[in-house]
Copies of this chain bind each other. A is one copy, B any other.
Amino acid sequence: MKDGDGPGDGDRDGDGCGVLPGSIRPGGRTARVRASVLRAAGDALAEHGFAGLDLADVASRAQVGRTTVYRRWGSAGALVADLLVDMAEQSLARSRTGSLLGDLKENARLVQRTLVDPRQGPLFRAILAAAATDDSTARALRRFYEIRVAEWAGCVDDAVERGEIPAGTDAREVVRAVSAPLYYRLLTTAEPPDETAADRAAEGAFVAAHAGVYLRVRPGAPQSGAAGDLEPPGEHGVGR
């Protein structure tokens, strides 16, 4: 596990002089404690959610003293933020299937599998909830998704290179368009996203990207209500 960056890059308590615990002797027990606490925090989050996160419970799961958790992380929000830093480092490499639709489907399936996973799904729900309340968690969450989105944006750039979709396409917007429906379903419906939802998300993003919806310079921008000169796919009115 990584070492040296501890519970965050900034000072937790605001004064610029105090050295955070874990930064001077990061090896051995300190690293072991950090790994153990982060795993326990993930487990507790997945089980009870952010509101039910009890730092004393985390400490006992991790077989660590409560004081240690309070001293090194200070609050539930900071603990989740550190967990996100850890998760961001385990980011998986993007796929290279040779076609944009193939890559987007791989991405959609990966996200879908994560969200329906009995541990990861509740964990992500809990983390999103934490970010809504705690500011340091929100920052860590944004950074986490920045990294993930940037990684997969390469697929879109490659597709532009191949001529599959128009130049000037905002790659990150395309990647976000794949994830968005899956997260929306997780948060607002009773059924977590299935394979069909994943395929639809990928196909929808692909078709829209192809039609120029995610161009950085938007053709229809000046007109407010009109469709602009967005090219409609195929011929209009076709009943398929």
Contacts and interface: CB of A to CB of B under 8 A. Distances in A.
A183 to B, nearest CB: 6
A213 B221 contact: no
Best-surrounded residue of A49, A164, A203 (most CB of chain B within 10 A): A203
Contacts of A102: 225
A164 to B, nearest CB: 7
Interface residues on A, range: 35 or more
Contacts of A48: 133
A101 interface: yes
A142 B232 CA distance: 33
B166 A52 contact: no
A132 B166 contact: no
A213 B220 contact: no
Contacts of A12: none
A44 interface: no
Copies in the assembly, this chain: 2
A82 interface: no
Contacts of A212: 240
22 contacts: A50-B129, A52-B133, A102-B225, A125-B132, A126-B132, A131-B187, A163-B237, A164-B236, A166-B239, A166-B240, A167-B239, A176-B181, A180-B183, A183-B184, A196-B221, A200-B208, A203-B211, A204-B214, A207-B208, A207-B211, A210-B233, A231-B233
A179 B189 contact: no
Contact of A176 (B184, B214, B225): B184
